Amino acid sequence: MAEWTESEEADGREQHREPDPCNDDTIAYYKFDRSYRDVCFGNNGFGVQYSFSDFGISNRAAVFDFSALSVPSLNGYEWGSTFSISLWFRTSGFRKQQGGLINNLNVTTINASTANETQTVITGSWDIFVKKDETRKQRLGATIVTSHANKTWDDIAMIRAHHWYHLAMTYDGETINFYLNNHLVLSDSQCCHGDIVSTNTDVVIGRNYNEVLFDGYIDEMKLFKKALTAQEITKLYQLKVV
């Protein structure tokens, strides 16, 4: 159940109730206002370069100019069967390869030989990325790995450089949904079931594990232990002030 904070006028007029941004459903919240810290629970991001834009969604935004952040405190995190991500992003240009927005080890296939038998091992947990297709258009993609299966979507939606987008991904143990600018653009109830796998790797923001970096801006990133509803996503989308 969501917690609330309250403010009351001195003359006793009606109370104004706002949702607590750091309630029990929250894993981490990165406002990117001059800092890479998690403002809720201390799952702070660490990087080599620190750069922020004065023109974000709410105050400032993190600039990823071929740089990245890692979150070591989420290494080995048990994601469970309900999970959501909400973030704003804006690309700066065209990239030949995919650039990672956020991931917990992007999915790779390893052929391992054991006792003269070759086994295919899937590593990774979840991954959200931007890539460029053959027509030079940028497309949003994602991967998820659960105890049931794994799947990659390379063409969730087409995006344009130099435009802000709000992205939300939700998973309730049976269905994964992707929302772009408050519109449901993809829903898949056949791909995956069960818990999202856990990996002994840091969460990474702004880079894939294959070293392909994101070039652009990210703001108001939040990770949740629950599957957000459409109404909750609308509230996050309405945060936009630019």
Q: What is the CATH number of the domain that holds 141?
A: 2.60.120.200
Across residues 89-107, what is the average pLDDT?
Answer: 79
In a domain, 83, yes or no: yes
pLDDT-based confidence at residue 16 (cuts at 50, 70, 90): very low
Q: What are phi and psi of 202, to 5 degrees?
A: -70, 150
- The per-residue pLDDT for 54 is 86
Q: What is the tens place of the pLDDT at every residue in 177-200? A: 999 999 999 999 999 999 999 999
- Whole-model pTM? 0.85
In a domain, 212, yes or no: yes
Closest CA to 88 of 56, 131, 63, 59: 56
Closest CA to 221 of 105, 5, 56, 46: 56
Residue identified by tokens 């956020």 is 102
DSSP conformational letter for 195: P
How far apart (Å, rounded) are the C-alpha atoms in residues 46 and 202? 11
Least confident of 11-15, 22-26, 118-122: 11-15
Q: What is the tens place of the pLDDT at every residue in 34-72? A: 999 999 999 999 987 778 998 899 889 999 987 899 999
Residues written for the chain: 242
Tokens of 82: 């309900």
How far apart (Å, rounded) are the C-alpha atoms in residues 182 and 62? 22
Instruction: Collapse the DSSP code of 240 into the 3-class scheme (helix H, G, I; strand E, B; otherwise coil) and give the result.
Output: coil
- Domain holding 75, by residue range, is 29-239
In a domain, 186, yes or no: yes
How far apart (Å, rounded) are the C-alpha atoms in residues 193 and 53? 39
- The per-residue pLDDT for 132 is 78
In a domain, 12, yes or no: no
- Rounded to 5, what percent of the chain is helix, strand, coil? 5, 45, 50
In a domain, 9, yes or no: no
In a domain, 14, yes or no: no
Yes or no: say if 58 and 238 are a contact pair by the CB < 8 Å rule.
Answer: no
- Please state, in angstroms and as integers, the Cα–Cα distance from residue 220 to each residue in 33, 151, 159, 166, following that order: 9, 26, 19, 9
How many domains in the chain? Answer: 1
In a domain, 122, yes or no: yes
In a domain, 85, yes or no: yes
Asked whether residue 242 carries a pLDDT value surpassing 50, the answer given is no
15-24, 83-92, 200-209, range with greatest mean pLDDT = 83-92
Asked whether residue 11 carries a pLDDT value surpassing 50, the answer given is no
